[in-house]
Amino acid sequence: MSAILQGAGAGAAAALSPFNSIDSNKLVAHSRSSLSVRSKRYIVAGSDEGTNKSFGSSSLIARRSQPLMIPNAVAATKADTASSSTPSKSGHELLLFEALQEGLEEEMDRDPHVCVMGEDVGHYGGSYKVTKGLADKFGDLRVLDTPICENAFTGMGIGAAMTGLRPVIEGMNMGFLLLAFNQISNNCGMLHYTSGGQFTIPVVIRGPGGVGRQLGAEHSQRLESYFQSIPGIQMVACSTPYNAKGLMKAAIRSENPVILFEHVLLYNLKESIPDEEYICNLEEAEMVRPGEHITILTYSRMRYHAMQAAKTLVNKGYDPEVIDIRSLKPFDLHTIGNSVKKTHRVLIVEECMRTGGIGASLTAAINENFHDYLDAPVMCLSSQDVPTPYAGTLEEWTVVQPAQIVTAVEQLCQ
């Protein structure tokens, strides 16, 4: 069970709802008061992914009974199966793409400057239905169907952001944003700096990426590895309906340009999320399954492969800690570091290619910062450095499978 909280001001943990057991040793409160600019109170709930199913799993929800402002406490329990879950008192079930839509719609209701632009976002409702119904509600200018010109409409979104709007730019597939690299690198990432801080670019660039089901090489790209060096942008990857909605809202509210990576295969994940408003912290990682023996760092779809492997590993007597890093740039070195200091072994499981991926950067960061705490070299499981083949068997072999994760853990824990 994990709860990720966002709040302003220091405070102790509030009383928790009964079906939540909190190990107070694991409660870490940090003072972030100097930085938080939000005076609004949030009720924040966490979600847990503890089953071995990739899709359709229901999750355990922790609810705080009072809306207290708790600074970024990470509470963790040992429970890792959903079978003992008690249904939450309120909350509604939805699919991940609906969660994204809900987050987007709430932000568009809240601030009339938030608008959407992209191909087929309007009348078509979005190629993955994330913007379904929004054009009917908000009009064709607020949910803008663009022609097929990624570079120009991304730049247009940036120009609009510079002049006061808050566009959410959709790449129909993240791979298409390769065409917008000029704008993303030069204007999105760097313009705030080259203008001496005069212009802010509060855009959100989002879309589905990752390896799907035989979509072919060009539709199966992982652009997070290409964008990670661009200074001035933040990158987050959502993996559950809960964090999808929370990250979408946080990204829209952020003054920084944020790239939100969704995954083609995760849009139909079902989960129950709180009715109350919440947002997730853009810079924080998510504790998925606490453990003692080894830290598994992962994100997006590989989270589910890691959790599937975790089930096998538990049966074999291992106790893996699984962390969904969520924030691809910057890395949450605090959560990661605490974990490394506890387990002394790190396995990174990612979908990026071996060369130059997020895993490669994360390996370097961990070696630099936590070298003394490691009992074994950091191992990184990534996709093969090949264009993703169309054939199903070949495609399966390019990405990391749960069996490989199990083998790697066994190897590291010898």
Partner 1 sequence: MATAFAPTKLTATLPLHGSQENRLVLPIRLAPHSSFLGSTRSLTLHSSRRLNHAHATRRSPPVVGVQEVVKEKKSINSLLITKEEGLVLYEDMILGRSFEDMCAQMYYRGKMFGFVHLYNGQEAVSTGFIKLLTKSDSVVSTYRDHVHALSKGVSARAVMSELFGKVTGCCRGQGGSMHMFSKEHNMLGGFAFIGEGIPVATGAAFSSKYRRDVLKQDCEDVTVAFFGDGTCNNGQFYECLNMAALWKLPIIFVVENNLWAIGMSHLRATSDPEIWKKGPAFGMPGVHVDGMDVLKVREVAKEAVTRARRGEGPTLVECETYRFRGHSLADPDELRDAAEKAKYAARDPIAALKKYLIENKLVKEAELKSIEKKIDELVEEAVEFADASPQPGRSQLLENVFADPKGFGIGPDGRYRCEDPKFTEGTAQV
Rounded distance between C-alpha atoms, residue 214 and residue 209, angstroms: 13
When asked if residue 142 is in the footprint of partner 1 (CB under 8 A), the reply is yes
Residues 368-387 that bind partner 1 (CB under 8 A): 369-370
177 binds partner 1 (CB under 8 A): no
Residues 191-210 that bind partner 1 (CB under 8 A): 191-202
The CB-of-334 to partner 1 minimum distance in angstroms stands at 4
User: Does the footprint of partner 1 cover residue 13 (CB under 8 A)?
Assistant: no
Say whether residue 2 binds partner 1 (CB under 8 A). Answer: no
Q: Is 154 an interacting residue with respect to partner 1 (CB under 8 A)?
A: yes
Instruction: Say whether residue 161 binds partner 1 (CB under 8 A).
Output: yes
Should residue 121 be labelled a site residue for partner 1 when binding is judged by CB under 8 A?
A: no
Total residues in contact with partner 1, by rule CB under 8 A: 70
| Contact flag: residue 222 with partner 1 (CB under 8 A) | no
Kindly identify the residues of this chain, within the stretch 37-96, that bind partner 1 according to CB under 8 A: none
Set 49, 150, 224, 262: catalytic member: 150
Whether residue 107 lies in the annotated active site: no
Question: Active-site residue 219, yes or no?
Answer: yes
Q: Does 171 bind partner 1 (CB under 8 A)?
A: no
Does residue number 163 form part of the binding site for partner 1 (CB under 8 A)? yes
Stretch that binds partner 1, among 61-69, 204-212, 301-309, 329-337 (CB under 8 A): 329-337
Options 98, 105, 219, 224, the catalytic residue: 219
Binding marks (x or -) toward partner 1, 229..248, rule CB under 8 A? --xxxx--------------
CB of 147 to partner 1, least distance (A): 6
> Which residues of this chain interact with partner 1, rule CB under 8 A?
28, 30, 32, 34-35, 112-113, 115, 123, 135-136, 139-142, 146-147, 149, 151-165, 182-183, 186-187, 191-202, 231-234, 254-256, 282-284, 327, 329-335, 337, 369-370
- Known catalytic residues are 150, 219
